[in-house]
Amino acid sequence: MSDQTFCAQYESAIHSSDFGVFYAYILERALGSVPQSGSGLDVACGPAILLSEFARRRPDMAFTGVDLSHAMLEQARRNVEKQGLANVRLLYGNMSDLPEILGDETFDWVTCTFGLHYSRDADQALAVLDGVARVLKPGACFFLADLTRFKREVTRQWFANKYDRGVGEEFFREILDSYLASFSLEEFMDLLQRSRLSGGTVEWSCLLPVLVVAHNLHPGRRTRERIDLTWLQRLKHGLLRSVLRLSAVRSGF
């Protein structure tokens, strides 16, 4: 993800109608676990769209974003500077080396959204999860959302053509590869059970290729915060929230 064109298309996709609706859902869910003070980490932060929202809504927290793409970090810096956020630092680094970069028991809250499937294999993904467990302070929270692999090739092609082709050719090729590179639900569960994380909850729906992992969240902190959306996006967001709530399957690890 070193190409500036791809980075621009990636950010455009986040702000597009349908993809933006899902990002709003992830933002809403993740914000429910962000403490009122302390330190937060966004793993594979990309252009810092979500990280900037976290920092803007929790100005009393210090946030760190880590990414392996110089192009993404450059875009992230522009976004952070544009919003005048003084509580964000951005670091170059591999998400499988978090303790080496940041130290042990450093953060009160860690999130990783659509980044784990960029691991080259299951061993690296396990290293990412183990690294997250090490950088979390005792009692801290971890929130992860990621793609799960489509079971049928025809579904993968249909989904990509409907939601991703219009964004741009570079993004379209990348997202097709991402759908292929993502782990199956069974592989995800195996990774979580083998990792140093424990006592968490995995939530998924057979209707969408997305999985949510919540580790050590504090239910008392859950809030419903207003997220700026167009009227059509608000309608889709409410429908998405209802569909996922009614079709959600949960399991511990």
Other C-beta atoms lying within 10 Å of the C-beta of residue 162: 10
Q: In sequence order, what are the beta bridge partners of 194?
A: none
Tell me which of 24 and 36 has the higher pLDDT. 24
Helix 4-15 vs helix 169-181: angle between axes, to the nearest 10 degrees? 80
CA nearest to 87, candidates 112, 63, 110: 63
| pLDDT classification of 223: cutoffs 50, 70, 90 | low
| pLDDT classification of 63: cutoffs 50, 70, 90 | very high
pLDDT score, position 96:
96
CA nearest to 65, candidates 37, 104, 83, 39: 39
Where would I find the beta strands (DSSP E) of 148-216? 200-204, 210-215
The answer to whether residue 225 scores a pLDDT higher than 80 is: no
Percentage of the chain lying above the pLDDT 90 cut: 53
User: DSSP string spanning 26-93?
Assistant: HHHHHHTT--SSEEEEEET-TT-HHHHHHHHH-TTEEEEEEES-HHHHHHHHHHHHHTT-SSEEEEE-
Q: In this predicted model, what pLDDT tens digit does every residue of 74-128 receive, in sequence order?
A: 999 999 999 999 999 999 999 999 999 999 999 999 999 999 999 999 999 999 9
Q: What is the pTM of this model?
A: 0.90
Mean pLDDT of 41-58: 94
The answer to whether residue 220 scores a pLDDT higher than 50 is: no
Q: Hey, what CATH topology would domain 4-252 get?
A: Rossmann fold (3.40.50)
